[in-house]
Structure 1
């Protein structure tokens, strides 16, 4: 019961709710029309598929009606209902009908229309009676004597005296003040519950879409990071590294002149500076290669990993069959996983040889296998470099599996999605 009846009657929300319930009748008639058209189309399907365009049209109208209902709830009830995915309609009637028949949201919208027809009849009738009956009986003392029989029959109650008429008018006033707002609120709650249940997308569908959005955003972030790494590598190669090379060459010319002049003390200082410049060039080249090796961009995984194998202190066999080339981000992850794994082999495994095998499968996945014949016992849970590999692989929605029994051999298997 409202504590302040006059405030409840003057509340804009109450009258918006009443108007919303009154419009339920119109929405129910529209839903009934869509259901009738859909039923006719289904009945005509056996007749050389004559009803197929009717069914597709009814499915489109069903989706548009659901969208209109969501708009109506937002406008009159301030209820924001998330939009459901649109059916994938195309010029092919068969494909469109299949998309409608297999879409979960289509069946939810159909269920809403089926429920809306009786619910709209209930809410429209109830809200009309909640206001019309009290407003009709409230002025009863003024007109009951003017009726043909000079009395009013209200069920078992007969109004033929001013006292009885005033009593009925008072009850009507109390009903208008207390009962009608409660009826409107109860009917609106029923209406909103139906809309929340059937007009909103399923919860698992929302979660699926959210996961897809997060996966796409993560892929974009990984691609952006990889592009930034390539830019930094180019800047280091074309900028600082070239300048250091020029400095080293100038120092070399200075050493030659100092050697001819016989100034050995100055020549030794300049030679030391030249050696330091060469070390800086080597370190800068290694840093740039660690960011993103140019050979990976230019020639792909096979050439880049062959260069890595050539520098490895442990003999490494490389077998790469990854055509067509994977995306740049996936290719970079595969490269760095192999390089870090081979670094771990050289430092910790005590292996006599290692091997790398990369395949691009028919299901658009890239599998990377790194193995060695070392002592084994590698465990990603112990905080070794393998945990960093797992984190790098997870960044592109991949999976890493390590098999390393004591005594070896150790196998690192990585599965990356190329699509």
Structure 2
């Protein structure tokens, strides 16, 4: 193993000075004091605003201070990404829309806000340490380098460092070389330690808490699930339009053409061929009926055009038992909620007709604020159990897809009551 050359030692000492990490760390630490002062002012502003809340003057000040703290925290995240080499995910502020009291409660209980406050409070002593370390790390070597000027101006031609008195040019050169070596070794390490202290504080308080991460994850899953459901409903509507405007219209045209052919064959007296044409026409009409039922199961056009009241009234008219429909939904919810409500009611009425032996049923749909409630009641024999059939399980799955709730009460002897509640998007 060969020993390292003498020239390689200065090269290794100067390597940290040739990289941008040292200078970006210095720039980062140098700004700590400014951010600490701004953060302390914002925290003081927030505290004063909280004191003024009981007399009604502090609410707008609290909101403004909260936005200021979030803005400073966002600046810190960008600063760490630019000069600290640390990517810190952004925090999502709470929604303050709605009643003032609820917004104030969400603001006061915002854990991320209090973590930001803790960060800026602790940044004051931390910035004092980092700025002090920055000044010492740079000023001490620079001060020793000025020893030559000090030596040249002393009448005795010597350097006095505390109790030591060094004389001669050799001593001055030795001090200079030692100072350069110490500076080359210590300054990068000191700046790396100071930056690590800053990063540790940011990781502790600027990183989203596990609770915030979980909340954001749940919100993301809710958004993606809602988008998936909306895409599925849009695809249902597209298929329904394609079938209605394409295949169904062609079958109708075919049925009309077969009718004309049958009429001509009747005049010509070709009864056997006319019978075949009539059979083909009947098959075409049956296909049209099946296709209409299929498109109605995908997404009935009347639901889009006229809403739940008209669509469910048409379903009730086809039910083998009398069904009373009462729809009070103003304003109309989203097409996704309307579609889910329509299919839930349709499936429930199908189950009533097949299994309940009921004499009548009732459907009531109301909207209260941002909640829609659908209640399906029948006077049948009861005993409906979601665990024993796919129909009721299908209702539960549909409603759960939009974070809705379904309650089924069906004691033996009846009546059966199905209540569905979901948010109006």
- The answer to whether the aligner puts 1:264 opposite 2:264 as a matched pair is no
Per-residue deviation, 1:282: 0.8
2:7 match: none
2:350 match: 343
Per-residue deviation, 1:44: 11
1:412 match: 418
Please list the CA deviations of residues 264-290 of structure 1 after superposition, one character each: whole Å capped at 9, or x if unmatched: 211111111111111111111111111
Pick closer, same or farther for the CA change 1:54–1:263 going to 2, 3 Å: closer
Aligned residue-pair number: 407
Distance 1:68 1:247 in 2: 69
Per-residue deviation, 1:188: 0.9
- The answer to whether the aligner puts 1:112 opposite 2:119 as a matched pair is yes
Please list the CA deviations of residues 72-128 of structure 1 after superposition, one character each: whole Å capped at 9, or x if unmatched: 2221123223334569999xxx99999977765554444333222222121011122
Pick closer, same or farther for the CA change 1:383–1:55 going to 2, 3 Å: closer
TM-score scaled to structure 2, two decimals?
0.77
Match of 2:192 among 185, 189, 193: 185
- Across the aligned residues of Structure 1 and Structure 2, the Cα RMSD in angstroms comes to 4.2
SS of equivalent to 2:88: coil
SS of equivalent to 1:253: helix
**Is residue 112–residue 212 contact of structure 2 (8 Å, CA) maintained in 1?**
no
2:371 match: 365
Please list the CA deviations of residues 308-361 of structure 1 after superposition, one character each: whole Å capped at 9, or x if unmatched: 233334x253332332133221111111112223333444x3533463433324
Match of 1:69 among 73, 76, 85: 76
Pick closer, same or farther for the CA change 1:111–1:148 going to 2, 3 Å: farther
**Is residue 219–residue 396 contact of structure 1 (8 Å, CA) maintained in 2?**
yes
For structure 2, the 5+ residue unaligned runs are 1-11
For structure 1, the 5+ residue unaligned runs are none
Match of 1:22 among 20, 25, 30: 30
**Is residue 351–residue 374 contact of structure 1 (8 Å, CA) maintained in 2?**
yes
Pick closer, same or farther for the CA change 1:145–1:76 going to 2, 3 Å: same
Pick closer, same or farther for the CA change 1:42–1:417 going to 2, 3 Å: closer
Please list the CA deviations of residues 38-96 of structure 1 after superposition, one character each: whole Å capped at 9, or x if unmatched: 399769969x9999998877666545433333322221123223334569999xxx999
**Is residue 399–residue 415 contact of structure 1 (8 Å, CA) maintained in 2?**
yes
Match of 1:319 among 297, 300, 325: 325
Distance 1:43 1:272 in 2: 83
1:247 match: 254
